[in-house]
Structure 1
Amino acid sequence: MADPLYRKTSPISWLKGFNKSGFSLIEVLVASVIFVVLVNIAYGLLFSSLFSYFRLSNESDVLAQLRIAMNRMEREVREARWLTSNTSASVLKFRLPKHMTQANQGIPLTYSRDKIISYYVSNGQLLRQIYDIPPTGFDGSAPNRGDPVVRYNEGVNVIARNIQSLELTYLPAETEDHSYKTAVRITIRGQAPGCKTLLLTSTVGIRAQRGW
């Protein structure tokens, strides 16, 4: 009979219970749900950050385009001889003196060096159209304050993109003929896809008529 003090015993394993039981189905499901939730939260934060970045980038681009458009119109309106009588609430038209150069030695008191400049919005772009005015476009020494009889189209240039509208108000309101008004309030609106509408407004005074 074997001595009970020296009987053979099996080694004790601390992981015995864990190895036999493992993870239960409920524990696996809970862990999976938590993992999916965390992944969705991370994805949502990433998507939101990227969307905000692109939206702010697009809005900054639109604002830059609006400023380019406004600065160009302000500068030329200030240099204009006068607005044309047929300028409208959405089309800005004015007479711009052609600067004298070595190749353009016209008599300063004539209007043969003038150009008609037209700004308008088409297909999301602010366009600038130029008409050259020959002397035949006037009645003697008194120029037509509307469009001349003869106009030579010098082309159309794109000034800004992502432009929704151009809105014009001519001042003073009591003056019926636009060509005798002394200021114009310019409002331009722009918008990029997925962004809010941005606008700029400026009131520009037209200089007094001069003979050059």
Structure 2
Amino acid sequence: MARNARVHKRSKNRDGFTLIEILVVMVLAVFVIGAAYSMLFSGLIVVGTQSGNVDVRNDLRNTINTMTRDIQQSTDVSTTTIGGNEYYQFTQANGDMIVYYYDADRQALIRRVNTSDQTIIDTIDGSQASPFTMEQTDTNIFNVQVWLINKSGFLRSATPEQHEFEIARRIGVGYSVPALGDLSSAARILHYKFPGYTVSAAEIRDQDSMVIIQVTSGADLESLIAEFVLSDGATATIDGTPQVSGETVNNFSNSLVVPFYYTVTAEDGTQRQWRIVVSVEDDLSQGGDGIVLYEDSDGNLQPMPFQPIINTTDEDPNWTKLIITSGVGTQSGYNDYEYYAPEGITIETGVELISEHSGQTSLMLTSDTGDIVIEEGVTFASSGSSNNAREQIYIKTLGNIDIRGVNMVAERYIYLEAGKNIFAQNALLRVMHNSAPNVDIFLELYPYEDGNHIYIDNLTIDFTNVTNDAKARPYSALEGNLASGSITPF
């Protein structure tokens, strides 16, 4: 190692540090602080770099382990000159002479054993270097601020807890070096579009590692160029081919059927597979009305075009859940909306299912054992004239029904039946007047199990131009206070 101060030998039986102890702290501190890319000449130089071809964390760990072993097992320390620079030389018990030095021509950190060289870290380039000179004191503690610039040009220094390393050494106590904290594990797609062809902002589903995006009907799906933004320092590939935002051309023509994946790699090597789903405006077979997701019991998702009537098991018995995504938006013009999935249905915020017909209409959501979750802000209603709202809204499952914050408007009745709980806080349930009998709202737990409830805090019950009460069974299962309206026993 290149040195910047004369080191005097000390007797091992004297109080204070031995030469070996001081060198352990000096060498390890410099290499850790420099993110494993250290150059020590004309003083100690610490270099941090992010290389796309080197796994920094693994190389750092291996380098530190090797150096620690060589230093701890040394019986004597001397100096030697290589390339005009002076380095420390560690003599092992078997007589081997070990030197660590930086080869500027090869851009490599070298471990020399006698006359044989071994490359420890290769291709140290593209980095910013800042000088660091360390002087050991009796306090045995020093702090260093490290500034690193990765290959994308991002400055990686801001918070002391990430970049300030404190290394303490006491006689009789081992050294401790914290793990590098500046390499991000984030591997997200933050923004995605096809310039000139994107209809609206892409739906980036972080929880599903999926991007759903719609393009204009004139777009050539076989030759699209995406512009995207990734997590700081992350990179993307498709089947091993590097992806460059605004430059790389890809074929998205079959993304609804055959999974199309980006592999996004974070700074620390963490990888995520992101599926890209491209739909085409005005083409219903290509998801022009939006995309829904079928889910199997293993959590695998299959995007499908939106339809007003869906039975997931009609497509495949293994598709057990249904998600109507927020990208479906407002749907109108259909008489009925009927959805069945044996293990649950989710309708996401942003969806509006509206009937414009004057005849009998219905919204039916049914599941065998799964939860039916309708997220806050979802609307089931009518935009037609003469109060031609839905004839009925019918939701039934042996699981939970969650309609918190949902607006439901029906012409004849609203019927909710759950085998577990009904969560109706902050919702609106409204029934329009009708000449037909049995105008009502029903909230029922069946089969009822002790401990299950119907939660009605701030629920609005409204019968337009009709005097009536909602019904609940069992009435004792009600929990909370209505915002308006009333509920009586069934």
Q: TM-score normalised to the size of structure 2?
A: 0.15
The structure whose residues are more often helix, as a share, is 1
* Higher relative contact order, structure no. (Cα contacts within 8 Å, ≥ 6 residues apart): 1
Report the structure number with the largest CA radius of gyration: 1
